[in-house]
Amino acid sequence: MKQIFCHIEKCLGCKSCELACAVEHSLSKQLVAAMREPVVPKQRIRVELIDEHGTLSRYRTLALQCRHCGNALCVQACISGGIRKDEDSGEVRINPEKCVGCWSCVMVCPFGALVRHEGIHRAMKCDHCPDRETPACVDACPTKALVYLEKDGVRTRDVVL
Amino acid sequence: MNILIIGNSAAGTAAVEAIRTRDRQSSIVQLTDELHPLYSRCLLSYYLAGTISRERLQYREMDFHERMRVQLHTGKRAVELDTNRQHVVCDDGSDYLFDKLLIATGSSAKLPGNIPAGIQGVCVLRTLDDVETIREHVRYARCAVVLGGGLIGMKAACALRECGLETKVVVRSKRVLSQMIDDGASQIIGRRLLENRIEVLTETDISEIRSQDHRLVGVETDQGQVIPCELLILAKGVHPNTELIQDTDIRKRQGIETDPYMQTSHENIFAAGDVAEAFDITTEEHAINALWTCAVQQGRIAGLNIIGEQEAYDGAVGMNSLDICNSPLISYGITSPKDGSRYQMLVYEQPANNVYKKIVLKDHRIKGIILLGRIDNAGVLLSLIQRKADVSAFEHELLDDRFNFAKLVGYGDASVLEQYRQW
């Protein structure tokens, strides 16, 4: 299975990935039109601050999204069967038709990767952009900090963390 | 190998799935005393409220048991267990031999002794049949009383209010959700309930039931108040269904005792879910955590060990997630310790915005958490409980809404980096 990794030495924290993610998950997939949609699209990737000493004297950024865990705790916690692991691809997928917004997945995800869409009362997360060859965040990254690689083939120099 | 699983809810189903990830050969027979093939108990209150259809209770595909090659036998209550002959007898006389047995019989609603049986309108909220009965009464009822202010009581009260019934909650303690959260959070919830026109009568119990022609017409409280109502939901908690092992040598305290492999004192018999006692990470004692998530995790571990995979359970953390009157609420572990002097509490509150956050620490390790109103990144904090991490370096940041995974990276927690790469 392929996974998105972030090379933190290259990540500027520009949030281009967040914007691209929200647009990709809108109805129109166009930035201006997306902003006017009745349900404002939300990003499923988040740029987080790695603050080395809690003083902001030296900080880096990490663009983080669902890790599609092998033994995914969200799948185990989901009470509605709305989060399942796809047996073929290994991806963890949410079925929005089944989600009831109980937030059990938010309760257990060690990455904080589940996003609550309060407007529609549903949990959301990275789905690797099923309509695209490469996820929108990876394509949008200006410094190529985000890469989409086979999980097993990841070398440390691809992903310095 | 012949595997017998008694119980068809969270733990039993998780065991089936775990077994079938590695073993397609063994025969699996699953027994349930209910007539319905598979549904999610946690969704029942959503169904009662009318938020979801009955079909959506089904949390796996219709052909789940077929695909998993499980023979599901519904409407059978296991009543006798012979541990030597490895043999189970059901109430209809049918019997089953097993090589490995999983007891996942769950729990039943506790019934208060002073409430007579057989009165129409007095219900519990435990099974799909219970909900169908409640729905019958909702059709004509105008007022409902819920006895018990725990998780089920709250979910029932909110659902009945959603159905348009005038709803009152009667609780014996000083506040609602007293097992799950502390006073501060409870006050906010209490106010939210009132805003949604759900009245809570605290430090009150029901002393008498009033009925006409075996039909409920009201309840009398020990404070002398008479509340006319057509529906009463008893939500005083649950007790484990351990009847099956009563006359066996399988060890139990409150629930069936298990080791980290979810094995009971008998080597071929496992237990998981609401009926089992397992190690609790926060209290450091063996206890029942009658919760969906724990049941699924324990069922999975039991399933793997039944087929010889030797995977150990890290232990349970009591945890609940609830969306109550549009306020998200998550709690973990010990939220209001009895012996407060041995614990350190960190609290952040904005009552006007319905926000309340609390971290309970002992020896710089997180033992309990309440998050009300702001729950994003909750699981990051849970991971600190589970790893028994020393949080002294970033204690002052734990209550910050921006406390996230990257914080742990910033503080040089090597194990989280491994997690990021490997998971």
Predicted pLDDT of residue B184:
96
Is B115 within a domain?
A: no
**Higher local confidence (pLDDT), B129 or A149:** B129
With b for 16 or more beta-carbon neighbours within 10 A and e for fewer, the B234-251 pattern comes to bbbebbbbbebbeebebe
Is the domain of B255 the same as that of B183? no
Is the domain of B356 the same as that of B297? no
Q: Give the separation between CA A142 and CA A147, rounded to whole angstroms.
A: 11
Predicted pLDDT of residue A159:
60
B52/A77 Cβ within 8 A: no
Mutation to test the B interface, candidates A42, A66, A100, most B Cβ within 10 Å: A100
Is the domain of B208 the same as that of B193? yes
Residue A161, pLDDT above cutoff 60: no
Is the domain of B171 the same as that of B183? yes
Instruction: Show which of B208, B236, B264 is a domain's final residue.
Output: B236
| 3-class state of residue A2 by DSSP | strand
Instruction: Show which of B277, B306, B335 is a domain's final residue.
Output: B306
In this prediction, residue A156 has a pLDDT band, given cuts at 50, 70 and 90, of low
Find tokens 């009245």 and name the residue.
B199
pLDDT > 90 in chain A, percent: 76
Entry field: residues in chain B: 423
Q: Cβ of A3: how many Cβ atoms within 10 Å?
A: 23
C-alpha dihedral sign at A118, A123, A128, A132:
negative
Is the domain of B302 the same as that of B369? no
Residue A143, pLDDT above cutoff 80: yes
Helix H or strand E encompassing B229: none
Query: What is the CATH classification number for the domain harbouring B356?
Result: 3.30.390.30
Nearest partner of B255 among B106, B369, B420, judged by Cα: B106
CB-based contacts of A131: which residues, under 8 Å, 6+ apart? A24
Predicted pLDDT of residue B416:
80
Is the domain of B33 the same as that of B173? no
Is the domain of B171 the same as that of B232? yes
Mutation to test the B interface, candidates A83, A106, A121, A149, most B Cβ within 10 Å: A106
Is B204 within a domain?
A: yes
The model's pLDDT over B172-217, given as tens digits with 9 standing for 90+, comes to 999 999 999 999 999 999 999 999 999 999 999 999 999 999 999 9
Same fold, A1-65+131-161 and A69-125: yes
Query: What are the DSSP calls for B120-181, one per residue?
Result: BTEEE-SSHHHHHHHHHHHHH-SEEEEE--SHHHHHHHHHHHHTT-EEEEE-SSSSTTTTTS
Q: Cβ of B62: how many Cβ atoms within 10 Å?
A: 11
Is the domain of B133 the same as that of B231? yes
In words, the CATH class of domain A1-65+131-161 is: alpha beta
Residue B417, pLDDT above cutoff 80: no
Is the domain of B102 the same as that of B244? yes
Q: Give the separation between CA B400 and CA B403, rounded to whole angstroms.
A: 5
Please provide residue B379's backbone torsions phi and psi, each rounded to the nearest 5 degrees.
-65, -25
The model's pLDDT over B150-177, given as tens digits with 9 standing for 90+, comes to 999 999 999 999 999 999 999 999 999 9
Predicted pLDDT of residue A52:
76
pLDDT > 70 in chain B, percent: 100
Nearest partner of B288 among B247, B236, B242, judged by Cα: B242
A77/B58 Cβ within 8 A: no
B286-308: average pLDDT: 97
B58/A81 Cβ within 8 A: yes
Nearest partner of B411 among A59, A124, A114, judged by Cα: A59
Is the domain of B247 the same as that of B229? no
Chain B residue whose CA is closest to A117: B376
The model's pLDDT over B357-394, given as tens digits with 9 standing for 90+, comes to 999 999 999 999 999 999 999 999 999 999 999 999 99
**Higher local confidence (pLDDT), B206 or B414:** B206
Is the domain of B129 the same as that of B228? yes
Sheet of B319-324, strands arranged across = B319-324, B327-333, B365-372, B355-362, B344-350
In this prediction, residue B136 has a pLDDT band, given cuts at 50, 70 and 90, of very high
Distance from CA of A125 to the nearest CA of B (A): 13
Chain A residue whose CA is closest to B423: A69
Average pLDDT, chain B: 95
Nearest partner of B32 among B1, B11, B53, judged by Cα: B11
User: Is B263 within 8 Å of B270 (Cβ atoms)?
Assistant: yes
User: Hey, where are the domains in chain A?
Assistant: 1-65+131-161, 69-125
Predicted pLDDT of residue B56:
96
Q: Cβ of B395: how many Cβ atoms within 10 Å?
A: 15
Chain A residue whose CA is closest to B377: A112
Count of the separate structural domains present in chain B = 3
Predicted pLDDT of residue A51:
84
A contacts of B407 (beta carbons < 8 Å): 48, 50-51
Q: How many CB pairs under 8 A join A and B?
A: 137
Is B293 within a domain?
A: yes
Distance from CA of A95 to the nearest CA of B (A): 11
Instruction: Show which of B205, B236, B267 is a domain's final residue.
Output: B236
A80/B293 Cβ within 8 A: no
Sheet of B100-103, strands arranged across = B70-73, B27-31, B2-6, B100-103, B269-271
Distance from CA of B46 to the nearest CA of A (A): 8
In this prediction, residue A151 has a pLDDT band, given cuts at 50, 70 and 90, of confident
A69-125 — its CATH code? 3.30.70.20
Residue ranges of E strands in B288-407: 319-324, 327-333, 344-350, 355-362, 365-372
A12-30: average pLDDT: 97
Q: Give the separation between CA A78 and CA A21, rounded to whole angstroms.
A: 24
Predicted pLDDT of residue B284:
95
Smallest Cβ–Cβ distance between A112 and the set B380, B410, B423 belongs to B380
A contacts of B403 (beta carbons < 8 Å): none
User: Is A16 within 8 Å of A138 (Cβ atoms)?
Assistant: no
In this prediction, residue A155 has a pLDDT band, given cuts at 50, 70 and 90, of low
Predicted pLDDT of residue A8:
87
**Higher local confidence (pLDDT), B274 or A56:** B274
A107/B407 Cβ within 8 A: no
The model's pLDDT over A47-71, given as tens digits with 9 standing for 90+, comes to 999 887 667 777 889 999 999 998 9
B411/A112 Cβ within 8 A: no
Query: What is the CATH classification number for the domain harbouring B49?
Result: 3.50.50.60
In this prediction, residue A157 has a pLDDT band, given cuts at 50, 70 and 90, of low
Is the domain of B280 the same as that of B183? no
Domain coverage including residue B209: 122-236
Smallest Cβ–Cβ distance between B60 and the set A51, A61, A81 belongs to A81
Please provide residue B305's backbone torsions phi and psi, each rounded to the nearest 5 degrees.
-75, -25
Distance from CA of B409 to the nearest CA of A (A): 6
